[in-house]
Structure formats: structure tokens, C-alpha cells
Amino acid sequence: MEKLIFPDLYCPFPSQVNQYVDVLEDYAFEWVLRFNLLSNESTYQHFLKTNFFWLTANTYPHYQLEELKIGNDWLSWLFIWDDHCDLSDLRKQPQVLKVVHKRFLEIFTGSEEATSKDIPLTHALSDLRKRMIKMWGARYFHLLIPCLEDYFNGCVLQADNHSRKTIPDLETYIKTRRLSLAGDLVLAWIEYFNCLRIPNILRKHQIIERINEMTINILAWCNDIFSFPKELASNDVHNLVLVLHYQQQLSLEQSIDYAVDMHNRELQALLELEKSLPSFGEELDTEIAKYLSGIHDWIRGNFDWCTKTARYNSVENLDLVKC
């Protein structure tokens, strides 16, 4: 493949790094090893070079250490499960995924306890649930459950496409990608981790909903632009650049330019949309300002991590734990 030139992505927010980044680096392996989520040398080395702790430290620059650890363990859990969905036989087995996801949700909702028959990821998810409720209480925990369900649905939709060898059209891909990114979960964390008091009627405000949708697009498209060479090499078409390449008959260079332009225009439109938010009163305006700040931290932190992680620089077939 010819050498491709990546145009600059627009990102106007300042880079920030949490003060506990060095401590987090030392901690990063503690939790995943305790729950045996890295089952062999290949998965260990893959996890080592992804540097998830940098993503956590960049996207949560103001969190205290214990909050940061929970955020880091959540990201580790999601990315490890994502690898199961993308790099193992599960990528073509949507019905099997549904069964595993059902068990995950039973544990996460607290309707059942993990047993010795469960896989390590199930026990790790149970631990995350207990720690979050212990630290922040159960008041807003219910917000996370439909977000996790949406993420699982996105994984199943991608697996269904793989099983049928289908390349989705652009509109379908964008909708599916918003799910498979776990974007709603990321946004719910901003509210949950910061103990924001945003009433449900405000969450459903059309401008807030559109801001959320655009934020997830920006995060997803940024990841896709950086990861597409790896996904091209591994014959994975679930990538914005590759969907544009195959469905709109563009060259790879043209597809990159198109994807970058989509990303940049979406971010510029997001900033304009934020300006149109009406006032909801001093107290709620303060909460919304904190929420938007969290969104900006995530957009910048995700961009910074994508530029330096080795996750998207190589193609690997991992020897993953069977589900």
C-alpha cells in the first residue's frame, strides 16, 4: 500500500494530563492481572503497548486518584472486551455475543452474583459495579445500564455484518459506530463521576441530545482515522475511512480527506451548537458547563492518546480466552 498522508485533525481544546499519571501507570496492570484479564503473553504484550493509562489521564485531568483508577479499569475492561469482539471468532458470532452480554447485564444490574462458572471479565465487571456504588452511591447508577446495553447492541450489529460479510452504508455505519464506541457510556461517566445534578428533562433537551450525538461522532471518527490502516490490514470494514472507500468508490487518500473533513466540520458545528444553549438558571447552567468541560476533555484526551498509542500501529491475532 502506498504511503498515506494524514491531514491535521481540528482540536481546539488544550492538552491536559492528570497529576497522578505516574501513579496510574504503575497501577494500570494491577486490576487486570488480579482478575486474570490478560491470560497469556500475547494479550499481555498487546495491553502493555496500548497505554490505556494515558487515555485515562488525558480524558480525566482533574480526577482524584481513586476516581481515576475506576475510570482506568472501566476503559481497560471495554478495550479488552472490544478485542474479544474484533480479534477472535466472536467477531462472526452475534448469537454467542448476545448470550455473553445477557450474563454481563445480569451482573451489572445486580440481579445476579458472579459465580465460579463465570469468565474473568464477568467478575471484573462485578467489581466495577461494587466500587462505583460504594464511591458514588446508587442514585444515578441506573443511567449507566441502558448505555452499556447500547454498547453491547453495537458489538452484535458489527458481528452480524462480519458473519454476513456486509459493508454497511455510511448512514448505517455512523449509527452503529455510535453504539460500538460505547459513547453513551463515556458521556454518562462524565455526569456520574462528577456527581452532576442534571434532571432527566434536561438530558432529553434536543440541544443536549444533539451535543451528545455529535460528541460521540467526533470521538468515533477520530479513532477511525488513526486506526484504519490496522483495520484495512485485518480485513475489518467497520471503519469510517473504509466505508467511504468501499461504498463511495473513493481512493484511500480521498477517503482520509473526506473523513477528516467530516470530523472537523462536526467539531466546529458542536462548538456553534454549544453557543445556542439557553439558560436554565444559574445552578443548572453551572452543571451543564461542567458537563461540557468534561466533553472537551474527552475529545482532546482521546485525540492525544490516538496520536501516541501503539494500539493502532500493528495487526495481531490474539490468543484470547474462550467465552
Dump pLDDT digits (tens) for 250-281.
Answer: 999 999 999 999 999 999 999 999 999 999 99
Residue 237 lies in a domain: yes
Mean pLDDT of 28-43: 91
CATH number of the CATH domain containing 48? 1.10.600.10
pLDDT (0 to 100) of residue 1: 43
pLDDT (0 to 100) of residue 203: 93
- Look up the pTM and report it: 0.94
Domain span including residue 87: 21-308
Tell me the pLDDT band of 318, cut-offs 50, 70 and 90: very low
Mean pLDDT of 107-126: 96
Model pLDDT for residues 202-256, shown as the tens digit of each residue: 999 999 999 999 999 999 999 999 999 888 988 889 999 999 999 999 999 999 9
Tell me the pLDDT band of 85, cut-offs 50, 70 and 90: confident
| Inter-axis angle of helices 52-59 and 21-34, nearest 10 | 130
Among 236, 221, 304, 226, residue whose Cα is nearest residue 83:
236
Among 103, 61, 81, residue whose Cα is nearest residue 193:
61
Helix (H, G, I), strand (E, B) or coil at 266: helix
Of the listed ranges 19-28, 40-49, 69-78, 83-92, the one predicted with least confidence = 83-92
Residue 2 lies in a domain: no
Residue 164 lies in a domain: yes
Residue 200 lies in a domain: yes
Phi, psi of 254 (to 5 degrees): -65, -35
pLDDT of residue 317 exceeding 50, the answer is no
pLDDT of residue 167 exceeding 90, the answer is yes
Name the domain count of the chain.
1
Model pLDDT for residues 119-132, shown as the tens digit of each residue: 999 999 999 999 99
Residue 33 lies in a domain: yes
Residue 95 lies in a domain: yes
What is the percentage of the chain residues whose pLDDT exceeds 90?
76
Residue 213 lies in a domain: yes
DSSP 205-227: -HHHHHHHHHHHHHHHHHHHHHH
Cell numbers describing residue 196: 452532576
Cell numbers describing residue 194: 462528577
* Residue with more model confidence, 285 or 40: 285
Residue 4 lies in a domain: no
